[in-house]
Structures are given as structure tokens and as C-alpha cells.
């Protein structure tokens, strides 16, 4: 079992301190009034010393200290209670509060030992003083209550019942505090994980949305620089600069779309895919076959980004002339298939590019999977399956 103390919030420690001070005030009142009836109650200086030391101990709750320091703290309080018991100082509910503090500060075995030891000493002290108490009662004519066996059994039963109840409540409170602390830790871990996932999503969005456009823009600017150095290429220079300007506008549009699509309700998957196909038709022929039911906006946008990254990979690496993209539902699944007739690649050595990795991560976040089928000069097929239950 762990030797760590129960994590206690400052608010709980403050409440426990106030409760202890209230009990000490009650203790002073009980002893002052009791001394007027029975002069054998603890002396005023003993009461003042006891209350002062307990109040001083209440100012510190060493739940963050080492196990030895916590044991010393509990042992000191236990010693004070035992001395008070033999000094005939009434300490009201301090004993029950002591048990709760032991449950919070010590491992279960140590807390039980401290409780049993203190309870046993209290019972022994009562037993030793029982003859004197009986004599006092006889002098007052209350013989009916003087059966020692009955008194002892009642005292034992009461003491054990109270001790068991308080120990149980103490451990329940300790368990509740531990659960709260663990819940706080789990909440922090979830927030940290959510932050990491959001960073990964932003990285994928930047790569998917801007990677191709910025690469093409870089090529166009390099061409513009080359044409500017020639004397008879003003027409080509003008065309290149116009293309670069269009790409700049496209980059800004894609940034806005990446940041706003999740909040707006006007994203339409079919329209976005046809617009993307028109932009890429100068590189190869694209056949679209989209047969999907109405889908949540977030899912539609993720499907669009996966299709876009797949088509851009075809444009950059496949040297294909024909590409077929289909999206449909079958067997309670969304099925996305992207096939090209390009050069293909060796899956074992070239399937870890950031683009394909991004598609794989997106499909996994949606509860699906990505299957890649490719070979040298055999084209490439990407098969993405997403359960409709997850998609919904």
C-alpha cells in the first residue's frame, strides 16, 4: 500500500482547523463547569497547557511531509490525549477528530494501530478509575447503576462502536479525497492530451491545406525570377506573376477555411470536391463518384481533407493520367476509394510520408482505418473505411 498521505485541499484543511478550535472551546467550557462540581477535574494550568499545545498542532497539517514526520505528528497528538485522559481533562470530540486525522495522514495499518492503542488506553484508564467512581455513586445513593460488569460492558461497547464508526468515516473521507485528487490529475492529463491532439490537427491542416499551394507558389516565384532576368519573356513573366497571385489568394482562402469551417455551417462536401477536381484537372483526369447521405459538418470536412491530400499526392508523385475518387456507404460503413494509374511505389519503404500519415491519423481519429495497395508501375489505391456509428 502507498505511504503517501491523502491530498487535502487548503479549503478542507481550513475547515478541519476551525472544527478543532470549536471543539477546544467546548473542551474549556466543559472542564471549567465540571471543576465547579467535581474538584478532581484537571487543574487550570493543565487545561491551559493541553489546549495550547493542541491548538498549536492544529495550525499545521503535515499531509505533504514524510511518513516519519506524519507518524511523529500523530504520536504527539495521541500522547497529549492520553495525558489529558489520566489528568481527568475532558476533551469532548477531540478523540474522534484525532482518528480522522490519523486516517488522512497515515497508511491504513498505522491508522488502525493508533486508533486501537488510544482506545485501549482510554478503556484501561476508565477501568482503573471504576472503583473510585462506584464509591462516589454509592455515597450519592445510586446503587442501581453500580454493577461493575454492566458498566464495563457498556463502556467497552460504546468505545468500540464509536471508534469503528469514526475509523470507517475517516477512511471514507480519505477515499473521497483521493478520488477527487485523481479526478483532478486525470482532468489535467485529458486537457494536455487534447492540446496535443489539437496541435497535431493544426499541423495536418497546415500541411494538407497549404503544403501544396506554397510549394507551387515557390515554383512560380522561381520561374518569375528567371523570366525577369531575360529580355524577351515579359509575357511569360506576367503569366507567372498572375499565377503566383492566384496561389496567394488560394493560400489565404485555405487558411480562412481551415480556421472557420468547424464553426460555420456552409461547408458542402460535394461542392468542395468538385472545386478541388477542377483545380487539378490540368494535371490529370479526375472521375468523381460521390454518393453519401447527409453527414455532420466536421466529418464532411475531414473527408474533404483526406481526399485533397490523396489527390495532391497523386499530382506530386504518381505521374498519373487517370484518377478515380469514390465515396459511398456499404455495410454500415463510409467507404472512400482513391485509385490512380500512376507509377506506384513500394509500400514497405515509401508509405510513411507525412501526407499518407496524415490521412491515416485522420481515419483513426474517426474510428476507421486506411489500407494502401500499390506496386511499381501498378498504380496506387487508397481504401478508407469509417464505421457509420462513429461517423454519426
- Report the range of poorest mean pLDDT among 34-38, 150-154, 303-307: 150-154
Percentage of residues in the chain with pLDDT exceeding 70? 71
**For the chain, what is the radius of gyration of the CA atoms?**
40
Give long-range contacts, CB 8 A cutoff, 24+ apart: 13-16.
Answer: 13/61, 13/63, 16/58, 16/61, 16/97, 16/100, 16/101
Would you state the pLDDT for residue 163?
66
Higher pLDDT: 49 or 237? It is 49
Q: For residues 229-252, give the mean pLDDT.
A: 76
* Chain position carrying cell 476507421: 368
The set of residues, in sequence order, having a beta carbon less than 8 Å from that of 163 and lying 6+ positions away, is: 99, 115, 116, 119
Higher pLDDT: 140 or 288? It is 288
Segment of 99-108, 235-244, 295-304, 332-341 carrying the highest mean pLDDT: 332-341
pLDDT tens-place string over residues 253-301: 767 666 655 555 567 889 889 988 887 887 789 999 999 998 887 788 8
Please give the mean pLDDT across all residues of the chain. 77
Joined grid coordinates for residue 106: 497515515
In which band, very low, low, confident or very high, does the pLDDT at 206 lie, cut at 50, 70 and 90? low
φ, ψ dihedrals at 382, nearest 5°: -105, 125
Count CA atoms within 13 Å of residue 93 on its CB side: 11
Q: For residues 201-210, give the mean pLDDT.
A: 66
Q: For residues 219-243, give the mean pLDDT.
A: 76
Helix (H, G, I), strand (E, B) or coil at 374: strand
Higher pLDDT: 236 or 341? It is 341
Higher pLDDT: 367 or 16? It is 367
Strand partners, 328: 291, 335
Give residue limits of the domains in the chain: 10-146, 268-391
Antiparallel, parallel or unpaired: β 369-374 and 333-340: unpaired
Higher pLDDT: 22 or 48? It is 48
In which band, very low, low, confident or very high, does the pLDDT at 15 lie, cut at 50, 70 and 90? confident
For residues 119 and 108, give the distance between their C-alpha atoms in angstroms, rounded to a whole number.
16
Joined grid coordinates for residue 188: 489535467
Would you state the pLDDT for residue 186?
80
Would you state the pLDDT for residue 219?
75
For residues 108 and 114, give the distance between their C-alpha atoms in angstroms, rounded to a whole number.
10
* Chain position carrying cell 463502556: 155
**Residue 334: its H or E element:** strand 333-340
Contact 286, 253 (CB under 8 A): no
pLDDT tens-place string over residues 158-204: 566 566 656 666 666 677 777 777 777 887 777 777 667 667 766 66
For residues 235 and 224, give the distance between their C-alpha atoms in angstroms, rounded to a whole number.
11
The 10 Å Cβ neighbour count of residue 222 is 11
Would you state the pLDDT for residue 67?
86
Domain 268-391 fold is Heat Shock Protein 90 (3.30.565)
In which band, very low, low, confident or very high, does the pLDDT at 385 lie, cut at 50, 70 and 90? very high
pLDDT tens-place string over residues 53-85: 988 888 888 878 888 888 899 889 888 888 887
Q: How far is CA 183 from the centre of its chain?
A: 6
For residues 81 and 10, give the distance between their C-alpha atoms in angstroms, rounded to a whole number.
26
Would you state the pLDDT for residue 309?
86
In which band, very low, low, confident or very high, does the pLDDT at 324 lie, cut at 50, 70 and 90? very high
- Report the range of poorest mean pLDDT among 136-140, 143-147, 216-220: 143-147
Contact 385, 335 (CB under 8 A): yes
Q: For residues 131-148, give the mean pLDDT.
A: 60
Would you state the pLDDT for residue 325?
96
**Residue in 145, 123, 122 with CA at minimum distance from that of residue 133:** 145
**Residue in 305, 279, 359, 295 with CA at minimum distance from that of residue 329:** 295
Higher pLDDT: 327 or 188? It is 327
Joined grid coordinates for residue 30: 466543559
Amino acid at each position: 500500500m502507498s505511504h503517501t498521505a491523502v491530498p487535502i485541499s487548503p479549503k478542507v484543511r481550513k475547515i478541519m482547523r476551525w472544527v478543532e478550535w470549536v471543539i477546544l472551546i467546548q473542551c474549556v467550557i466543559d472542564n471549567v463547569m465540571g471543576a465547579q462540581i467535581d474538584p478532581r477535574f484537571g487543574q487550570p494550568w493543565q487545561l491551559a497547557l493541553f489546549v495550547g499545545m493542541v491548538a498549536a498542532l492544529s495550525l499545521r497539517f503535515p499531509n505533504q511531509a514524510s511518513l516519519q514526520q506524519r507518524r511523529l505528528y500523530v504520536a504527539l497528538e495521541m500522547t497529549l490525549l492520553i495525558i489529558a485522559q489520566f489528568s481527568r481533562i475532558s476533551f469532548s470530540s477531540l478523540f474522534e477528530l484525532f482518528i480522522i486525522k490519523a486516517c488522512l495522514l497515515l497508511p491504513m495499518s498505522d491508522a488502525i494501530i493508533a486508533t486501537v492503542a488510544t482506545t485501549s488506553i482510554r478503556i484501561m484508564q476508565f477501568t482503573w478509575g471504576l472503583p473510585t467512581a462506584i464509591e462516589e455513586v454509592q455515597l450519592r445513593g445510586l446503587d442501581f447503576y453500580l454493577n461493575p460488569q454492566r458498566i464495563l460492558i457498556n463502556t467497552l461497547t460504546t468505545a468500540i462502536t464509536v471508534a469503528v464508526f469514526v475509523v470507517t468515516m475517516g477512511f471514507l473521507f480519505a477515499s473521497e479525497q483521493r478520488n477527487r485528487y485523481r479526478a483532478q490529475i486525470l482532468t489535467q492529463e485529458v486537457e494536455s492530451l487534447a492540446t496535443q491532439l489539437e496541435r497535431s490537427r493544426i499541423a495536418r491542416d497546415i500541411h494538407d491545406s497549404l503544403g501544396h499551394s506554397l510549394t507551387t507558389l515557390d515554383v512560380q516565384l522561381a520561374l518569375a525570377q528567371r523570366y525577369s532576368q531575360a529580355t524577351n519573356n515579359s509575357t511569360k513573366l506576367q503569366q507567372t506573376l498572375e499565377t503566383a497571385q492566384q496561389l496567394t489568394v488560394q493560400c489565404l482562402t485555405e487558411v480562412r477555411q481551415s480556421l472557420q469551417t468547424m464553426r460555420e455551417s456552409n461547408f458542402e462536401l460535394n461542392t468542395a470536391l468538385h472545386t478541388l477536381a477542377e483545380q487539378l484537372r490540368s494535371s490529370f483526369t479526375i472521375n468523381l463518384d460521390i454518393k453519401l447521405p447527409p453527414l455532420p459538418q466536421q466529418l464532411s470536412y475531414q473527408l474533404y481533407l483526406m481526399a485533397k491530400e490523396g489527390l495532391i499526392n497523386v499530382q506530386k508523385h504518381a505521374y498519373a493520367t487517370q484518377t478515380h475518387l469514390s465515396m459511398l456507404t456499404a455495410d454500415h460503413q463510409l467507404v472512400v476509394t482513391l485509385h490512380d494509374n500512376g507509377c506506384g511505389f513500394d509500400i514497405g519503404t515509401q508509405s510513411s510520408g507525412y501526407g499518407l500519415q496524415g490521412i491515416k491519423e485522420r481515419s483513426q481519429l474517426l474510428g476507421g482505418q486506411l489500407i494502401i495497395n500499390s506496386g511499381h508501375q501498378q498504380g496506387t489505391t487508397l481504401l478508407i473505411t469509417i464505421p457509420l456509428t462513429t461517423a454519426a
